[in-house]
Amino acid sequence: MQLQLTNPLRGDCPPDGYRYVDPVSGFVAHAWTYADWIDVEKAHLAANNREIPSTLESDMQHQLCLTLPPGFCLYDDPSRPRPSTVLSWNDVSSGLKTFARWIAKGCKYVSQAEADRRAEICSRCYLNVGVSGCSGCGQAVKEVIADKKSKYDVVLKSCAVCKCFLKAKVHFPIETLDTDSEKVQSMYPGFCWLNKESENYRG
C-alpha cells in the first residue's frame, strides 16, 4: 500500500524538509513547503523532456514516508525498521572500522564493472544521504579503499541503512557485507543491489 503524508497542505514540514530523489536521474527535489517540493520535481521533468506521471505526487509522498519517523504518514506501521536520513560521524565510524578489519585480513574487491553497476544504483537511491559534521570523510574513505573509484563517486554519500560510506561499500564482496538480518533486508529498497529479492542483487 502506498504511504501518504497525513496532511501535506497543512504546513507541518518533515525533518530536513521535503525530499525526493528522482529514480531515473538521481536529481534531488528538496523544498520546505509541499507545493514548492512538487513544483521542483515537475520543473526537473519538464527541463529534461520527460512526461509528468499522473502518480507523481503519490510516488513522491510514498518515498518520503519510507524515511520519516512515525506520525507523519497514513497507513504506516509505527514499529517498522526505519533508515536514518540524517547521519553523524558516530553513525558511520564503526562501519569504517569494519572495512579496515576486512582489508587487514586480505579482503578482495569486486571488479570495476561491478563496482560501477552498484554505484549507479546507489547514485539514484533516496537512501544515499550525507553525513553531518564530517570534514574528514573523504580522507577516511581514501584510507579504506586506497585508489579505488567508481564512475559515480562524485554523488555517492552514505547508506542510510547500514551507515557505510558508499564510495567504499560498492567495492566490497557481497559476502562480507551484513545483509542477512530480516531487519536490514526490510529497509533496503526493492531496486537495491543488496536486497535479496531484487533483480539487481548480485548483478
In this structure, what is the dihedral angle of CA atoms 198, 86, 66, 167, given to the nearest 10 degrees? Answer: -10
Look at residues 167, 160, 112, 103 and name the one whose alpha carbon lies nearest to residue 139: 167
In angstroms, the Cα distances linking 66 to 3, 4, 74, 189 are: 8, 10, 11, 10
Q: What is the pTM of this model?
A: 0.82
- What are residue 29's DSSP bridge partners? 20
Full pLDDT tens readout for the chain, 203 residues: 799 999 887 767 888 899 999 999 999 999 999 999 999 999 999 999 999 999 999 999 999 999 998 989 999 998 888 887 777 777 767 666 666 666 666 667 889 999 999 999 999 999 998 876 565 566 666 666 777 889 999 999 888 888 888 988 899 888 777 667 888 898 999 999 999 999 999 76
H or E element that contains 159: strand 158-159
Which sequence spans correspond to the domains of the chain? 4-74, 87-187
